[in-house]
Structure 1
Amino acid sequence: MTADLHRQTVLVVEDEDSIALAIEFVLARQGYAHERVARGREAIARIRALHPDLVLLDIMLPDISGYEIIEAMRADPALKGVRVLMMTARGSVVERRKGLELGADGFIAKPFELAELRAEMARLLELG
């Protein structure tokens, strides 16, 4: 683990507590600084305030969708460099295509292996 990892911040936007806890466990073990929000409306404000290196973004949230969040992010020039890994239980080709077309940097279907999540996070953070 390098000192560089400690400076990288990940924001988890996930309403399912069990999934969020598993993700937060991985983030802590890997040495990332991280926060979590459970509602979409909180996410945009938190992303703007925190300016994380990576957002793990669930598509299906209780108030607004992950698609709406990424659209707002990609419309904001200040958030241009923030990487987004979209997560969904509906891992269809259509969902994946839509997320990537809206500006997601990666896409992972739930349930996912924690090793797969670690690898995808590392790939996206190396791009930044």
Structure 2
Amino acid sequence: MASSEIPRTIKAVNTAELIHLDDEARVCDLNRQHGAGWLAEHADPGATHYLWPALVHRLHHRPELSPHWRCMLLLALRDGQQVFSLLDVLPTTFDRLPESLDRATKTRIAERLLGPIQNVAEWSERNA
């Protein structure tokens, strides 16, 4: 796959891996929709979360991080709700994540992400 070709897949990650991905994004100064420590506080520690690359993102002033994938994130929270978020992920990091979902599961996750779903900001406002 060319480095600028976005993967057409959805990958599942556990909470520990998601926090690692979020930390990598923070260290690289990539986009995240939550502050440092937010995921550790609010993500369900036993849940599976889902990343779906939505677009290629480029930082022309930081070519070492370009391109990277801006992923839609289906995030499971401690209160049992699922919310929409975004997380930028480096291509090599995304490629290392295992491919573990069947086609039907990926379709259900895509439908959930593309349908009406509360986002992190809305959830945070309601739960402040």
For Structure 1 versus Structure 2, the TM-score category normalised by the shorter chain is under 0.3
Say which one has the larger Rg.
2
TM-score, normalising length from structure 2?
0.26
Which structure's residues are more often strand, by fraction?
A: 2
Which structure's residues are more often helix, by fraction?
A: 1
TM-score, normalising length from structure 1?
0.26
